[in-house]
Amino acid sequence: MIDWHDVLREHRDRSDCGFSLSVCFGDPPTDDLVRIREHYDYYAQRDDPGAEYSYTVLVARGELGELVGLLAAKAGQIDLPADPEEALLTCLRTLVATGQLPTAGLKAAHTTVQRWLDEAGIAHTTKSWAWINSD
């Protein structure tokens, strides 16, 4: 089972949508990926049965130290936990809180993290997922 760690979770009144930015750390050797996911849950409305969308950036666990270093440099002077997983969560939460990692627009966090990784030369892939309720 995959455990997701929330960086941000909120309800967006304008679109009646649940939004989350979260991170999952794979369990080697079967899963060696770090996932940073932006997820939207559009609730059912009168004429709309609802839908879910997610946009994920995937980085090899072996790149976790570089990823933390990149995000820590962007976050500035912050105290980081020694554990690299907790350090990544701390960096992301700080970047969201200071507005450096935007979350207001569709795929805003996803595209920003992807751009930062591209600029730093950190290998990554992306994955999109959608579910449309057809009831």
Which string of DSSP letters, residue by residue, matches 1-30?
A: -PPEEEEEEEEETTTTEEEEEEEEE--TTT
Q: What is the pLDDT of residues 71-118, one digit of tens each?
A: 999 999 899 999 999 999 999 999 999 999 999 989 999 999 999 999
- Over residues 56-65, mean pLDDT: 96
Neighbours of 101 (CB within 10 A): 24
pTM listed for this prediction: 0.91
Tell me the HSE value of 28 on the side-chain side, using a 13 A CA sphere: 6
Inter-residue contact 43 to 67 (CB < 8 Å): no
Cα–Cα distances in Å, from 113 out to 37, 38, 74, 85, 134? 10, 11, 11, 16, 32
Domain regions of the chain by residue span: 4-132
CB neighbour list of residue 79: distance below 8 Å, 6 or more residues apart: none
Bridge partners of 56?
A: 37, 127
Which residue, 81, 39, 90, 36, is CA-closest to 61? 36
Q: How far apart are the first and last CA of the chain?
A: 28
Q: What is the pLDDT of residues 18-47, one digit of tens each?
A: 999 999 999 877 789 999 999 999 888 878
